[in-house]
Amino acid sequence: MNSIDSHLPFLIMSALTLGSALVVVRVRNIVHAGFWLLPCFLGVAGLYALLQAHFFVVVQVLIYVGAILVLMLFALMLTQDVMNPNKPQTNRMSLPIGVFCIVFAAGVAAILTGHQWVNSNAVILPANVQTRQLGQALIGEYALPFEIASVLLLAALVGAIVLAKSEKEPAPLPLPTLAALPDSKPE
């Protein structure tokens, strides 16, 4: 199983992920950088597929490729002077961050090379069983983190609304009825 053949899918997916990640940080146009995240995220989905984590393949494509990438591109479109290629890509923090990155990478490398890797002989479960077990864990053992995820999403939602709507007063309190809503606001 150690031949290059059996590792070929892994190598392709890793190359896709790392290669496009490199382009993301190297390309001058930040919107193009955003678009280059697409093959990067798809490569990660491919790695999940190789690990037989079928649910995460779908979630990766649905959430990261389908939603978060769109969100990032929208955020970039809101940015002033986004297309100026003469903007410097570094700022005064680049040296400390560079040092931090090197130390961090060295630390991760030290941990990974020092770890005793064992081959798992666990049986790969079918996709539906995997997803059901994930659901059981979410409902049972990890019920609290599951609910806190909802609070986190709520916080993100409220935060974005506050940022985007901060210049305006909230609507007067009596809740408008559904029928009255469309023309309740003066244009």
Partner 1 sequence: MQSYVPFVMFTAIGFAFIFVTLLMARFVRPSAPNPNKQETYECGPVPVGDAWNQFNIHYYLFALLFVVFDVEAAFLYPWAMAFRMFGLYAVVEMIIFVALLGVGLVYAWRREALEWE
Distances (CA, A) of 83 to 25, 45, 91, 173: 15, 30, 18, 42
* 67 is a site residue for partner 1 (CB under 8 A): yes
> In sequence order, which ranges of 27-142 are alpha helices (DSSP H)?
30-50, 54-59, 69-78, 94-114, 127-139
* 170 is a site residue for partner 1 (CB under 8 A): yes
Give the length of the chain. Answer: 187
Nearer to partner 1, 1 or 93 (CB): 1
Tokens, residue 135: 């659901």
* 86 is a site residue for partner 1 (CB under 8 A): no
One of 8, 11, 68, 101 touching partner 1 (CB under 8 A): 68
Residues 116-135 that bind partner 1 (CB under 8 A): 127-128, 131-135
Distances (CA, A) of 108 to 10, 44, 77, 103, 168: 21, 19, 35, 9, 47
Nearer to partner 1, 23 or 72 (CB): 72
* 12 is a site residue for partner 1 (CB under 8 A): no
One of 8, 22, 79, 106 touching partner 1 (CB under 8 A): 79
* 30 is a site residue for partner 1 (CB under 8 A): no
Alpha-carbon distance of 75 to 68, in angstroms, equals 10
- Which residues of the chain form contacts with partner 1 (CB under 8 A)? 9, 31, 49-50, 52, 54-55, 59, 62-63, 66-68, 70-71, 74-75, 77-80, 82-83, 127-128, 131-136, 138-140, 143, 146-147, 149-151, 153-154, 156-158, 160-161, 163-165, 168, 170-171, 175, 185
